[in-house]
Amino acid sequence: MEKRRINAMRRYYDRKGKELPEELAKRLAQKRASEKKHKRKRNLKRSHAISPEQYDSIFYEQGGGCAICGREDAGRPSIDGSNNLYVDHDHSTGIIRGLLCHHCNFGLGHFKDDKELLEAAIDYLKRTKEQMGWQA
């Protein structure tokens, strides 16, 4: 069923104040699930040149969580309730390094993947923690 037709049916039933018939609702749910699967496949292929199977392989190799913090529930929520981790890659080479949660991915991005800058931030945290300990 094409998207325009589906939306027109939804609007029709909404205007009439009626619920979608069960069979139609079931078909729409199946269509959404199928579209979601194809969209994920297309996005992984276009953005990172990997398949969903390769993503899943990386996911299981790193224990089912973020490659940095290890949290298993830290991905971005998707429609089906699962958490998708971000595909982390080297921006200069395009080589995939692993899968990261939102916070770790954005953290690396804000530090521009610069090792010296990250080390400086770690030193800063250590230094300020020591200073606070002296004040207490």
HSE-CB at 10 with a 13 A cutoff on CA atoms is 11
Parse the chain into domains and list their residue ranges. Answer: 1-48, 50-136
Q: What is the pLDDT of residue 52?
A: 87
Q: What is the chain's pLDDT, residue by residue, as a tens digit (136 residues)?
A: 567 777 787 788 888 887 878 877 788 778 877 787 788 788 888 888 999 889 889 989 998 899 999 988 766 555 555 568 899 998 888 899 999 998 999 999 999 989 999 999 999 999 998 888 765 4
pLDDT at 136: 42
pLDDT confidence of residue 78: 59
**How does DSSP classify residue 80?**
T
CATH of 50-136, picked from 3.40.50.2000, 3.40.640.10, 3.40.1800.10, 3.40.50.1820, is 3.40.1800.10
Q: How many CA atoms lie within 13 A of 8 on its CB side?
A: 5
34 SS3 class: helix
Cβ–Cβ < 8 Å for 69, 102: no
Separation of alpha carbons 32 and 10, rounded Å: 14
**Tokens 């078909």, residue?**
27
What is the rounded CA–CA span in Å between residue 118 and residue 109?
11
CA–CA distance, 117 with 103 (Å, rounded to integer) = 17
